[in-house]
């Protein structure tokens, strides 16, 4: 059975998040097209993800042999490793990702679980997996001068590649806060794109 990890990172309630309108539509379409797959939803705000605790960095980045999936933090790295596909949903905040998502990334990027060091350098241990990142942005960052300022999707794409995941697709709703733009149409078009990609993801 294929496992899909749906990672949600937005403080807005479900009905108010434009990001989640798109990502939830993606997941619902995916379920119809892949009824045999298991989807695990991880809402980082509801989960209460916090920053890495003081004094535990060595424990987390060099886990003792036998430290297992019941560890309060390492369990997220094991959960991430066990997934086959990833759906990440987050808005662009201050040109990057929400802090809760960065905190989660610190939880899952663990030596010996999701990557390892070798004589040739670090090697990701999540090879052969795929991800889609779904994001909503107030400005225009895909093309033009704004592209140089976008550091959210770019960071996630780089980090996932570091973990061995290079099949990485981005779905974005752009310029939602630009005065005069038809927000409903922009979101609707992003939903159509998401539904199309979900069928073959």
Provide the residue-wise pLDDT of the chain in tens; the chain has 201 residues.
899 999 999 998 778 899 999 999 999 999 999 999 999 999 999 999 999 887 766 666 666 666 677 888 889 999 999 999 999 999 999 999 999 999 999 999 999 899 999 999 999 999 999 999 999 999 898 888 888 999 999 999 999 999 999 999 999 999 999 999 999 999 999 999 999 999 999
- Supply the pLDDT for residue 59: 66
pTM for the whole structure: 0.94
**How far is the C-alpha of 54 from the C-alpha of 90, rounded, in Å?**
27
- Supply the pLDDT for residue 52: 85
What is the residue extent of each domain of the chain?
Answer: 3-198
Does CATH place domain 3-198 in 3.40.50.360? yes
- From residue 152, alpha-carbon distances to 61, 75, 95, 138 in Å are 24, 25, 6, 13
């Amino acid at each position: 059975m294929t496992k899909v990890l749906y990672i949600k990172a937005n403080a807005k309630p479900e009905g108010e998040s434009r990001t989640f309108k798109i990502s939830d539509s993606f997941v619902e379409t995916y379920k119809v097209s892949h009824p045999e797959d298991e989807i695990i939803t991880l809402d980082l705000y509801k989960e209460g993800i916090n920053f890495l605790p003081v004094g535990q960095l060595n424990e987390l980045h060099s886990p003792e042999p036998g430290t297992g999936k019941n560890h309060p933090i390492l369990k997220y790295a094991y959960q991430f490793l066990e997934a086959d596909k990833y759906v990440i949903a987050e808005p662009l905040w201050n040109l990057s990702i929400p802090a809760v998502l960065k905190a989660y990334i610190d939880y899952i990027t663990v030596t010996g679980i999701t990557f390892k060091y070798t004589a040739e350098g670090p090697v990701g241990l999540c090879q052969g997996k795929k991800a889609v990142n779904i994001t909503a942005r107030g400005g225009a960052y895909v093309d033009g001068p704004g592209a140089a300022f976008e550091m959210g999707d770019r960071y996630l794409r780089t980090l996932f590649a570091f973990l061995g995941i290079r099949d990485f697709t981005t779905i974005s709703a752009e310029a939602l806060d630009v005065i005069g733009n038809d927000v409903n149409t922009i979101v609707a078009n992003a939903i159509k794109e998401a539904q199309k990609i979900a069928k073959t993801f």
